[in-house]
Amino acid sequence: MIGFVNLFKAAGPSSAQAVSRLRRIYGFYAGDRRLSAGHLGTLDPQAAGVLPVAVGKATRLIPLLADQRKSYACTLVLGRSTTTQDAHGETVEERPVPHDWSARLEKALPAFLGRIAQTPPMFSAAHHQGKRLYELAREGKSVERRARTVTIYGATLLGVELPASTNSGHALARLRIACSEGTYVRTLCHDLGAAIGVPAHMGALVREASGPFVLYEARTLDEIAREPSEALIAPEHIIPFPTIVLDLRGSADFRAGRVVPLPEGATGRHVFVRDESRTLVGVGEALGALLAPRKVFV
Beta bridge partners of 91: 82
Contacts of 126 (CB under 8 A, 6+ apart): 120, 132, 133, 145
- Neighbouring CB atoms inside 10 A of 224's CB total 24
| C-alpha–C-alpha distance, residues 113 and 177, integer Å | 10
Signed CA dihedral, 150, 206, 204, 128: sign only = negative
Q: What share of the chain is helix, strand, coil (3-state, %, to 5)?
A: 25, 35, 35
For residue 21, the surrounding DSSP H or E stretch is helix 15-30
For residue 29, what is the DSSP state? H
Which of 126, 139, 131, 77 lies closest to 105 in space, CA to CA?
77
For residues 180 and 155, the answer to whether their CB atoms sit within 8 Å is: no
- Residues marked active site are found at 44
For residues 112 and 119, the answer to whether their CB atoms sit within 8 Å is: no
Contacts of 294 (CB under 8 A, 6+ apart): 270, 282, 283, 284, 285
